[in-house]
Structure 1
Amino acid sequence: MEWYEKPLRFGGFIMEPEIAKRMNCNVVQISKTEDRLFEKVIEEFHKREIKVICYIGTFWMDEKMAKEHPDWLQKKGVKVKTFEESGRFPCPNSGWRDYTFDYLKDTLKNYEVDGIFFDGPGFYAGSCYCDNCQRRFKKQYGKTIPLKFEDNPDLYRNFIRFRYESINDFIRDAKKEAVSIGSKVPIYMNARGMKGLTKSCGRDVQEMAEYEDIVGAEAFMYYFSKHQTLDRPLWEQSGTAKFMKAAARRYNKPAVVFVTCTISPWSWRPHPEGEIWMMVGETVANNAGIWFEWTDERMKQPYPEWEIARKAYGFLKENEKFYEGAKSSANVALLWSRQAGDYYDEDEVMDLTGDFSPKGLAIESRDISKTYRSCYRGIYEALIRAHIPFDLVLDKDLEEGTLLSRYKTLILGNAPCLSDIQMEKIKEFVKNGGGLVATYETSLYDKEGRRREDFGLRELLGARIKAGKTEEGFAFGGNILLDKKGHSVKKTLSTIVPAPFYLMSVEPLKESEVIGFFSPRGELKINTNYPILITNRYGRGKVFYIAGNLGDTYWNIAVPEIKQLIANAIEWVSGESPIVSVDTLETIEVVLNYQKKENRYLLHLVNYTGEMARPVNHLLPVKEIKVSLHKRTFPKIKEVTTLKKRQRLSFKEKNDTFEFTIPELANYEVIVIQCQ
């Protein structure tokens, strides 16, 4: 096992080895300084058994370089910007690329660094139309780059693909350059996390992961406005960790999540205790290393929170063996689709004529019925609140299909853009006994956003677009009236469930069964012309289709019946009760991992129960958490202990389960379940 494949505790930009040691770091990420000083600093870190990653900032050029090489700058739209206007962003297809590779090789030849991190490069909104990109694009596609999608849709799709290829080529060739001089150190770069769509920057982690040695992205938390703060979920680090692991899993590579250490935009005041423990717990529970944006000067300020962070890293250091080699035991998978973000999601539109200033990069709202990210976020939020352990799967996972076999249930929380190959793999998964939960416009478009006449998965969904109806309808304030008494999806639900804001006009296929119909606002009468909840069987599997943007609705308004409907649907299509049930507040994330060699499960509990404001200053303790483990996964249990408090918990058998109670959860805890 390579050193970077073990649990990572990054010390950010700490340059003083003693500070990094005191904070329990095992790796730092620092920039080159004056030659002899840099060499000495590396030596001192190594004496303390701390690895050194060399940070190379590749998203920015200084003023001097921009003046000397204006042809290296990205060009936005049709107007060439001066370096002041452009923000000095280098184009990865320019001569700047060779300059960076020379810098890389010089660093590796002359210093004993343990790895290289590229902070960038990436494309910026509305770019790049520089001469270098135009030449390369024309060589590949025979035409110049179109300014807008509407100008030439197919050619613009190639432009989206072109940006991804340019970034992939950069990290692939950087690795080749390092190998060419005999270097074997890990090389990786800053990918795009969950905070935005990848189409504007070209950094897609599921493709980059093939070429880099560590897979990582930012999950930074900024507090610029109330609206912006509320738009960032409490589970930002959790989602990013799951995303990075999903990309890294195919190549068996480690993942890391980069997090801020201060209440930005204030650069000195650290996050309070509650935020620190959430960030740490969310990240490591989901099997990623953690990188805090620490610096020497920040760590010298007299804030008690630095001691909280030190103890958190100390806990991880002391218990490293409970994280090393652990893998998720979730049997539910949620799709995160770059395809939908590229060709369907319309909640962001980039201005091609403005400059690279904050104003010029501003996004404006568009059709709110086409918001893929909020559909995804709502389902993610519901799964967290229902305490359902789950993984993310990506577009490539659907294409290959082999990974799906490890799951009982696949959730397509509005997956509009699917290829024919992906749909065949999904059909095969369900036919062989898998469960599928799908919503809204799933499979209504091909993988590049071209609308089909009908659902590509209509045989699975058990529904078709109603004849003469091509658009979705606005259903604000309406309800779902449940039908078919006794259907297990209805358990714990009333007969009235708030309906999604947007609905598809569909009609069921004859072999499917409708268990819920739409009723307009102010009415409580079943109208069989508007089916919403449709169940179907395909081969040995089951499908539950919701003809509305349920995830988007829940993301905006967390109606409890919607969360319960999703949880019930998962249980019905899977054909079995959950492998783990946790009876507690909704504000607890549950993650289940397994270490094969030790034959033990690790049940991670992350407490999000704060004080109704961000940043979260203190987490409120949650008491008497009841846990039930199903015997089909846990046939024999030897011992149950809490990792932080070192408590041995008594457990008992009850029918097909083992049950125990956790007396109290303060912030983050790991329950070690040792099997016989």
Structure 2
Amino acid sequence: MKHWWEGYPWRMIQTNLREIDMESIDAERYVGELKEFGATVVLLNAAGIIASYPTNLEFQEKSRYLHGDSLKRIIEVCRNQGIRVIARTDFSKIRYGVYEKHPEWAYRTSQGEIVNYNGDVHTCLNGEYQQKFMFEIIKELFTDHDFDGIFCNMGGFIQQDYSGRRYGICHCESCRNKFRNQFGLELPEDEDMKNPVYRKYLSFKRECLTEHNKRFYQFMKQISPELAVNGFDYIRCESNTEIGREQWQYSASSNSRAIGGAGRSCPSDNACVDFMGYRYRHISVSPALMELRQWQNLANGGSVSLYLMGRLDNHMDRSCYEGTKKVFHFHRRNEPYYRGLESAAKVVVMRKELWEKDKEVLGWIRALTESHIPFDEMLPERLTDVSALRGKEILILGNIKYLSDVQAALIDEFAAGGGCVIATGETSFGDTNYEERDVPALRCLGIQALEDVRHDLMSGMFLIGEDERDQFPRCEKTPYIAPGPDLVFARMKVEAKGYMKLIPEHPFGPPERCFYSGITSRPGISVFPYGKGKGIYIPWKIGSFYQCEGYQNTLSAIRDIMFSIGKAEEMAPELTEMVELSIYKSPERTVVQLVNNSGCFANSYFNPLPVTDIQIKLKHVCDFGSVFTLNGGRVCCMDAEDGLMVKLDRLKSYEAIVFEAPGHPKDKNVCAESGKENPCFT
């Protein structure tokens, strides 16, 4: 049986209700605001730290402000208006009064101290509160309220408060006993990867969380199989900012890809956070940034999603409303064209974790995006069978150090079947228990032995030889390539072909001394034939260097690796790097989407500049009876060598070019937004 969330036009608004918001909440007005945006799903506070309903449980504090319409009434009005309602719960903390009655539920530092933040005390995943009593709260909540799903905020081991202070490993009695029983060891004091006990603790944490999530999911499905559970039936992430933290311009694109995976098997809810950071929850980020995030979500198989503090009607800073509404309304008008789409990308990037921003992976994401290479992102835990890579031609592993033997074998199988594996740095040098391997697990890379790993390079660089220039045409005028500080010294198998040669450390000052006297035979890139495919090993962190420094030198090298050695399809060589390109397909249509990122300047976001006269060459387009745009552009198609040349006259913020299969409603080459016929279609 099909569940309600499968194929559902997901337009989420999360109103993170403060206690005081329940004092005067009017259900009709609240839902009316949601309808004005075009929302189809709402996430609102229900239980945990504070109960937004009259609870009978002594270990859950009831809000003092329940004087407006009830939670039941809000759900009822939402349902009447066709809006699904998901309960937001938070069991990471309890009120201090509850803690005083149950001190054993609290997280403890190594000194035995609790974390008391504004009267809310951190709890531990292994404590009795999260192991037992949270389930009683959920049972009461869902017995009395007809929710459609659940989201648990801050699940897991929370070691940091809202001010950013870290408290380290939990040393509560439950954690101590469980770790001692499992490993016969005491908990480590510090978070030190050199300590084997800490590495065991990382595995311990992962196992505890996996076990708890599985139990939670089963519990919810016993209540009703029609409850959508975050992390299983839909997946929520955030594009957010924090004061003092480096911004990431492709956050929404990347999160949507990583959540959905290649098959887009469940709703991807990447919440675009309205506020600047924890301390400024009432002040919005730049309107252009919020609109850009929504377009990025949409263009990468995700859904439009807004997260703000308070209610829509009493939120004082409404500067982001207009741009967000624009994208919500656009999606509402064009729902059918996005239904059932799957990625048509031939490239996939493995990402270490959903919530982790690793510079090596970010650099690859930037380089691929700015080279107009459509790609997917994959979390390691989803690689359970080689079929997860079906339809892919290139797999990029950006310093993915920890892989299981099974995962490594599947990647080797992908390469042997004709795939290209590109790996950098210390990829597969460790296992998923965080233990080092003597030899990397990936055989397709052709590494025979490890000699050394250095993190202190200063002036070492690689030289592209005269006889290698054909493989690196974009580096024709820049034969030296800067690797950054990290370099793996590995002995490759004889079948591996090396490119570039290492120029070792040499003086870089004073100017009179700035020259080198020798060139080694150590390669900067090795290509190893493996079955029908190959492995490309880059012993340095090329992605990290590009993400941190951003030079054309590095981008040119990555492009030559992708296009000349990896044989990726080059679709838009003349298109500005500021435009993002993605391609999605269904049996009914192919959709080429373009996002204009030109408004991003340093750490600010402005309205994008129009991009004109765009040309895209597509080699693999399904049979189509018509082609049209959804957002005002005019498109022209013509046959080209080995494919189809697509020309778009103008890109504003976003455009979708739809190639509709024969026999579907659109039988003309028109703009769906304006209704005007496009000028040419040959």
The AA in structure 1 aligned to 2:636 is S
Q: Name 2:103's counterpart in structure 1.
A: 70
SS at match of 2:572: strand
Q: 1:417 aligns with which of 391, 402, 419?
A: 402
Q: How many angstroms does 1:661 deviate by? A: 1.9
The AA in structure 1 aligned to 2:261 is A
Structure 2 residue runs of 5 or longer lacking an equivalent are: 18-26, 47-51, 55-68, 160-167, 509-513, 663-682
Q: Is the 8 A contact 1:508 1:531 kept in 2?
A: no
Q: How many angstroms does 1:434 deviate by? A: 0.8
Q: How far apart, CA to CA, are the structure 1 residues paired with 2:144 and 2:114?
A: 37
Q: How many angstroms does 1:523 deviate by? A: 4.1
Q: 2:599 aligns with which of 569, 588, 610?
A: 610
- CA spacing shift, 1:11–1:43, aligned 2, 3 Å: same
2:9 counterpart of 1:25 = no
- CA spacing shift, 1:549–1:613, aligned 2, 3 Å: closer
Q: How many angstroms does 1:259 deviate by? A: 2.0
Q: Is the 8 A contact 2:200 2:433 kept in 1?
A: no
Q: Is the 8 A contact 2:349 2:396 kept in 1?
A: yes
Q: How far apart, CA to CA, are the structure 2 residues paired with 1:263 and 1:84?
A: 21
Q: TM-score, normalised by structure 1?
A: 0.83
Q: How many angstroms does 1:540 deviate by? A: 1.6
CA distances 1:142-172 after superposition (whole Å, capped 9, x unpaired): 4432334669955433322222233233333
Q: How far apart, CA to CA, are the structure 2 residues paired with 1:51 and 1:376?
A: 35
SS at match of 1:624: strand
2:270 counterpart of 1:257 = yes
2:138 counterpart of 1:118 = no
SS at match of 1:46: helix
Q: How far apart, CA to CA, are the structure 2 residues paired with 1:215 and 1:487?
A: 45
SS at match of 1:471: strand
Q: 2:239 aligns with which of 194, 212, 219?
A: 219
Structure 1 residue runs of 5 or longer lacking an equivalent are: 189-208, 342-371
Q: How many angstroms does 1:448 deviate by? A: 3.1
Q: Name 2:63's counterpart in structure 1.
A: none
The AA in structure 2 aligned to 1:491 is P
- CA spacing shift, 1:456–1:305, aligned 2, 3 Å: closer
Q: How many angstroms does 1:281 deviate by? A: 1.2
CA distances 1:274-298 after superposition (whole Å, capped 9, x unpaired): 1122110111222222331233256
CA distances 1:294-351 after superposition (whole Å, capped 9, x unpaired): 332566547454222222211111111122211111111111235998xxxxxxxxxx
The AA in structure 2 aligned to 1:513 is K
- CA spacing shift, 1:525–1:426, aligned 2, 3 Å: farther
Q: How many angstroms does 1:34 deviate by? A: 4.1
SS at match of 1:485: helix
Q: 2:306 aligns with which of 292, 301, 317?
A: 292
2:637 counterpart of 1:666 = no
Q: Is the 8 A contact 1:626 1:661 kept in 2?
A: yes
SS at match of 2:39: coil
Q: How many angstroms does 1:651 deviate by? A: 0.9
Q: How far apart, CA to CA, are the structure 2 residues paired with 1:611 and 1:541?
A: 38
Q: Is the 8 A contact 1:377 1:552 kept in 2?
A: yes
Q: Name 1:391's counterpart in structure 2.
A: 376
Q: Name 1:306's counterpart in structure 2.
A: 321
Following superposition of structure 1 onto structure 2, how do residues 71-220 of structure 1 map, counting pairs within 5 Å? Answer: 71-81=104-114, 83=116, 88-97=121-130, 98-125=132-159, 126-148=168-190, 153-182=195-224, 184-188=226-230, 209=231, 212-220=232-240
Q: Is the 8 A contact 1:465 1:505 kept in 2?
A: no
Q: How many angstroms does 1:383 deviate by? A: 1.0
Q: How far apart, CA to CA, are the structure 2 residues paired with 1:175 and 1:456?
A: 33
2:636 counterpart of 1:644 = no
Q: 1:246 aligns with which of 261, 264, 270?
A: 261
2:456 counterpart of 1:474 = yes
Q: Name 1:192's counterpart in structure 2.
A: none
Q: Which protein has the larger Cα radius of gyration, Structure 1 or Structure 2?
A: 2
Q: How far apart, CA to CA, are the structure 2 residues paired with 1:288 and 1:654?
A: 32
Q: How far apart, CA to CA, are the structure 2 residues paired with 1:268 and 1:85?
A: 18
Q: How far apart, CA to CA, are the structure 2 residues paired with 1:336 and 1:481?
A: 30
CA distances 1:242-261 after superposition (whole Å, capped 9, x unpaired): 22113995xx3322112211
Q: How far apart, CA to CA, are the structure 2 residues paired with 1:183 and 1:455?
A: 43
**How many residue pairs were aligned?**
608
SS at match of 1:474: coil
SS at match of 2:418: coil
The AA in structure 1 aligned to 2:92 is F
Q: Is the 8 A contact 1:592 1:603 kept in 2?
A: yes
Q: Is the 8 A contact 1:105 1:177 kept in 2?
A: no
Q: Name 1:325's counterpart in structure 2.
A: 340
The AA in structure 1 aligned to 2:610 is P
CA distances 1:623-650 after superposition (whole Å, capped 9, x unpaired): 22211111xx2154433322111x4512
Q: How far apart, CA to CA, are the structure 1 residues paired with 2:126 and 2:494?
A: 55
The percent identity for this pair of structures is: 22
Q: How many angstroms does 1:123 deviate by? A: 0.9
- CA spacing shift, 1:615–1:4, aligned 2, 3 Å: farther
- CA spacing shift, 1:594–1:158, aligned 2, 3 Å: same
Q: How many angstroms does 1:435 deviate by? A: 0.8
Q: How far apart, CA to CA, are the structure 2 residues paired with 1:55 and 1:18?
A: 20
2:553 counterpart of 1:561 = yes
CA distances 1:23-56 after superposition (whole Å, capped 9, x unpaired): 1111111123345622211111122111111211
SS at match of 1:164: helix
Q: Name 1:530's counterpart in structure 2.
A: 522
Q: Is the 8 A contact 2:33 2:312 kept in 1?
A: no
Q: 1:336 aligns with which of 318, 343, 351?
A: 351
SS at match of 1:504: strand
2:483 counterpart of 1:491 = no
Q: 1:449 aligns with which of 421, 424, 434?
A: 434
